Amino acid sequence: MKRRQFLKTAAVAGAASSIFNFNSFAQSRDPKRKMTLNLVCGAIGVQADQMRAIELASKYGFESVEAKADYLASLSSGEMDSLKRLLRDRKLVWGTSGLSVDFRGDERKFKEGLKQLPKQAKGLRKAGVERVSTWLRPASHDLTYNKNFKQHADRLRQVCRILKDNYIRFGMEYVGTATLLISRKYPFIHTMAEALELVDAIGTGNAGIVLDSWHWWQAGDSVADIEKLRNQDIILVDLNDAPKDIDKQRQLDGQRQLPMATGVIDTNGFVNALVKIGYDGPVRAEPFNQTLRDLDDASACKATVDSLRKAMKLIS
């Protein structure tokens, strides 16, 4: 986006905020809740660039929004200042940014991605983004658990050092889905305890986990496990539910439900454990639900934020 186009878009968006801003910061909010309702457009089937994502987040009452690293890294100082003012005007904060580095493949691809990370991290820092996240593949065709663990620790340690230089925390999502665990020859990290072992092995002080209620449930993790964590251990939270009448071990990762849709997953225990430890980061829905993806942008955003608000009403 060219500078003139950016400034024009920001100005229009700022003017529109007085009409469309139904942000829930302005609504009654439980004082015990520190976490923010986070919009990640791609997770709900909405195609949006950074400016469109901010517009949608503000219009439908989200409190934080995904940051797009490449876009932020491309902005001039003036454009960055305009964007930060827009966020303040919309009463939004940044959620997380996805990690662009391919750390799961061959060494060449990893090194190529790593070379681009300092520029992206610098853009994130200038924008005020403090969290980057990714997910861990729960099985491998080629690497045994120990070899895979060592490779992950070595590569992600390099990632974390670059992010730490820019005051950014890094979160890794463990994937507990049973049907994915057995999809390849060698099982890998798929529980909270194992993910925390990887955090310790990385050892940079800025790594933590992405805690997804779906994977927490699939892995057999408990409310007590969450209550043992510290706020700083969690970089991002995902809230999801599961279809009814399907055996837990036969559930498919790409067929989830919005939070509170079915009651299969203990959202009450999950959310209140997060409140108990003072979690203050973003909470997104990531249902991979085709019905949701088939909706128009407005309906998808509204259904998502309504489900997150419903979950927050469980706070006791």
pLDDT tens track for 142-191: 999 999 999 999 999 999 999 999 999 999 999 999 999 999 999 999 99
CATH number for position 188? 3.20.20.150
Q: Tell me whether residue 33 is in a domain.
A: no
Q: Tell me whether residue 97 is in a domain.
A: yes
Rounded to 10 deg, the angle between the 50-59 and 77-89 helix axes is: 10
Average pLDDT estimate for 52-60: 98
Q: Tell me whether residue 242 is in a domain.
A: yes
Domain that holds residue 226: 3-8+47-312
Tell me how many domains the chain contains. 1
Structure tokens that stand for 191 in this block: 């529980």
Average pLDDT estimate for 97-109: 97
* Cα separation, 272 vs 210, whole angstroms: 17
Average pLDDT estimate for 197-213: 99
Instruction: Give the model confidence (pLDDT) of 34-52 as tens digits.
Output: 999 999 999 999 999 999 9
pLDDT of residue 28: 58
pTM of the model: 0.91
- CA angle at 207 for the pair 210 and 139, rounded to the nearest 5°: 55
Average pLDDT estimate for 300-313: 98
* Cα separation, 251 vs 213, whole angstroms: 14
pLDDT of residue 267: 99
Q: Tell me whether residue 29 is in a domain.
A: no
Instruction: Give the model confidence (pLDDT) of 240-265 as tens digits.
Output: 999 999 999 999 999 999 999 999 99
pLDDT of residue 30: 85
Q: Tell me whether residue 26 is in a domain.
A: no
pLDDT band at 101 (very low <50, low <70, confident <90, very high): very high
* Cα separation, 45 vs 158, whole angstroms: 32
Instruction: Give the model confidence (pLDDT) of 269-299 as tens digits.
Output: 999 999 999 999 999 999 999 999 999 999 9
